[in-house]
């Protein structure tokens, strides 16, 4: 190796060193520690005690885990496509109004700047079944809204609504992607007699597929790790847990409770690995899909 190459190599190392160190301390080591903890029983007030696969066994039979997993997955399925569809719809409308898009875009993005805890508190009130704003508004169009905050069947949709308030971020991404689509494509298609739905399906969707795919992954991971709003609205100090509704028990909430609420860190570590496996599985499926469906202009 020439000395120049060596100095280049060293320099590169220098620049990368923060991340390398961080990776070692905050990613690699913790993952190993977490793996170790998952086969122990550890409550932090005394030393870890090796228990082999007991945590994982318990995990399989724990009805709360099944419940938490179901809740989380159901919520993700409920939320992600809806968020994408509504965002896309808004973005399409925004793309058609020319310069005014900027103003509305700002309006839609504003809720994204609200801290999740504040949004949770706010929606806890807005979603109250008897006198919350949401149901009052629904009454205006003749719909009797459900008890969003107390009815098990409606807690997750209520939470989805709370999160949907923040879909401005996704909308902005879609809008930018839409604005990248060359209008000539549309014109050509129109000349060929394609209707607007066909144009949407054959041109728009493929052209923004990169953005769609990216947001799908981000939204999914976000949904599967849902914590802030659910914890704010339904858990916390003892009072909230008196009425804890199983329907709001999300996986990370349960994990958090086990780890820091009752100090069962071994068990919680096992829970964490299960979540990891699930997220990896789901993300790989999504990546596979992307390779099939996403169209990159100019190829990659």
Partner 1 sequence: MKRGGSNARQPKVIPPAVRLLRGGPLAGCGGVGNKSTSSSGSGNSGSLSTQGFGKPDDVGQARIDAFKAAYPNVSLHINEGDFDPQQFLSSVASGNPPDLVYLDRNLIGSYAAQGALQPLDEELDKVGLDMKSYRQPAADPCTVNGKVYGVPEFYNTRNILINGKALAETGLTSADVATTDWDKLHDTARKLYKASSRGIARIGFDPKLPEFLPLWAKANGAELVNDDGSPNLDDAKLVEALGYAHSLIAEQGGWSKFKAFRDTWDVFGSGNEMVKNQAGAFPWEGWYVNVLVQASPDLDLQCIHFTDRQGNPISFCDGSAWCIPKGAKNTETAARWMKTVTSTDTWLKAAAAREQTATKNNTMFTGLWTANPDADHQIKDKYVKPSNNPGFDQAVNNYYASTEYAFAIKPSKASSEIKTAWTDATNRVLSGTQTPAQALKQAQGEASTAFASAK
Partner 2 sequence: MVSLSERAVEESTSAEPARRHQPPMAFGWGKILHLLVLCVASVAFLYPFVWLLSASLKPRTEVFDNSLIPHHWRFANYADLWSYAPVLHWVFNSVVVALAAAITVSFSSALVAFGFAYFRFRLRNLLFGLVLATMMLPGAVTMIPIYLIWHRIGLTGTQVPLWAQNLFGSAFYIFLLRQFFLSIPREFFEAARMDGCSHFGLFWRIAMPLARPALIVVFVFEIQASWTDLLKPLIYLQDPSLYTLPRGLKAVIDTFGNGGEQHWEIIMAASVVATVPLIVLFAFAQRHIMDGIATQAKR
Query: Site residues (CB under 8 A) for partner 1?
Result: 43-46, 63, 128-131, 146-147, 149-152, 154, 236-239, 241-247, 256-257, 260-263
Which of 42/174 has CB closer to partner 1?
A: 42
Min dist. Cβ of residue 75 to partner 1 (A): 16
Which one of partner 1, partner 2, none interacts with residue 147, CB within 5 to 8 A by kind? partner 1
Q: Which span sits near partner 2 by CB under 8 A: 53-61, 71-79, 124-132, 140-148?
A: 124-132
User: Of the candidates 93, 159, 180, 118, which has an alpha carbon nearest to the alpha carbon of residue 110?
Assistant: 118
Burial of 227 (0-12, 13-18, 19+ CB in 10 A): middle
Structure tokens at 143: 């719909």
Structure tokens at 105: 């875009």
Min dist. Cβ of residue 253 to partner 1 (A): 11
Min dist. Cβ of residue 196 to partner 2 (A): 11
Q: Which span sits near partner 2 by CB under 8 A: 57-65, 75-83, 151-159, 254-262?
A: 254-262
Which one of partner 1, partner 2, none interacts with residue 257, CB within 5 to 8 A by kind? partner 1
**Residues 6+ positions from 179 with CB-CB distance below 8 Å:** 95
Residue 49 engages partner 2 in binding (rule: CB under 8 A): no
Binding mask 83-122 for partner 2 (x = CB under 8 A): -------x--xxxxxx-x-x-xxxxxxxx-xxxxxx--xx
Min dist. Cβ of residue 285 to partner 2 (A): 13
For 245, list phi and psi in degrees, rounded to 5.
Answer: -100, 130
Residue 122's CB is within 10 A of a number of other CB atoms, namely: 17
Q: Which span sits near partner 2 by CB under 8 A: 22-30, 49-57, 62-70, 76-84?
A: 22-30
Q: Which residues, listed in sequence order, are joined to residue 41 by a DSSP beta bridge?
A: 49
Min dist. Cβ of residue 121 to partner 2 (A): 5
Q: Which residues, listed in sequence order, are joined to residue 50 by a DSSP beta bridge?
A: 40
For 52-67, b where at least 16 C-beta lie within 10 A, e where not — what string?
eeebbeebeebeebeb
Min dist. Cβ of residue 40 to partner 1 (A): 14
> For residues 204 and 198, what is the distance between their CA atoms, to the nearest angstrom?
9
Footprint of partner 2 on 186-205 (CB under 8 A): 186
Which one of partner 1, partner 2, none interacts with residue 129, CB within 5 to 8 A by kind? partner 1
> For residues 63 and 46, what is the distance between their CA atoms, to the nearest angstrom?
27
Which one of partner 2, partner 1, none interacts with residue 213, CB within 5 to 8 A by kind? none
Residue 107: in which H helix or E strand, if any? helix 101-109
Min dist. Cβ of residue 275 to partner 2 (A): 6
Residue 148 engages partner 2 in binding (rule: CB under 8 A): no
Residue 227 engages partner 2 in binding (rule: CB under 8 A): yes
Residue 211 engages partner 2 in binding (rule: CB under 8 A): yes
Residue 256's Cβ-side half-sphere holds a number of Cα atoms within 13 Å equal to: 14
User: Of the candidates 4, 11, 59, 13, which has an alpha carbon nearest to the alpha carbon of residue 266?
Assistant: 59
């Amino acid at each position: 190796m020439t000395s120049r190459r060596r100095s280049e190599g060293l320099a590169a190392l220098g620049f990368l060193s923060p991340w390398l160190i961080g990776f070692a301390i905050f990613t690699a080591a913790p993952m190993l520690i977490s793996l170790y903890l998952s086969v122990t029983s550890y409550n932090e007030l005394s030393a870890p005690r090796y228990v082999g696969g007991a945590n994982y066994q318990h995990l399989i039979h724990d009805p709360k885990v099944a419940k938490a997993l179901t809740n989380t997955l159901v919520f993700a399925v409920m939320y992600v496509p809806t968020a994408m569809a509504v965002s896309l719809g808004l973005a399409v409308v925004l793309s058609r109004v020319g310069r005014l898009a900027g103003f509305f875009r700002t309006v839609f993005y504003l809720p994204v700047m609200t801290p999740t805890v504040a949004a949770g508190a706010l929606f806890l009130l807005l979603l109250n079944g008897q006198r919350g704003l949401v149901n009052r508004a629904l009454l205006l169009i003749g719909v009797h809204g459900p008890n969003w905050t107390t009815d098990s069947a409606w807690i997750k949709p209520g939470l989805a609504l709370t999160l949907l308030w923040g879909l401005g971020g996704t909308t902005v991404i879609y809008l930018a992607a839409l604005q990248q689509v060359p209008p000539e494509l549309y014109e050509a298609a129109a000349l060929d007699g394609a209707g607007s739905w066909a144009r949407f399906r054959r041109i728009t969707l493929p052209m923004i597929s990169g953005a769609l795919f990216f947001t799908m992954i981000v939204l999914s991971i976000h949904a599967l790790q849902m914590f802030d709003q659910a914890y704010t609205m339904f858990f916390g100090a003892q009072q909230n847990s008196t009425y804890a509704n199983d329907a709001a028990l999300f996986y990370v909430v349960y994990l958090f409770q086990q780890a820091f609420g009752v100090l069962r860190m071994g068990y919680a570590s096992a829970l964490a690995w299960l979540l990891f496996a699930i997220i990896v599985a789901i993300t790989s499926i999504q990546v596979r899909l992307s390779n099939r469906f996403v169209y990159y202009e100019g190829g990659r």
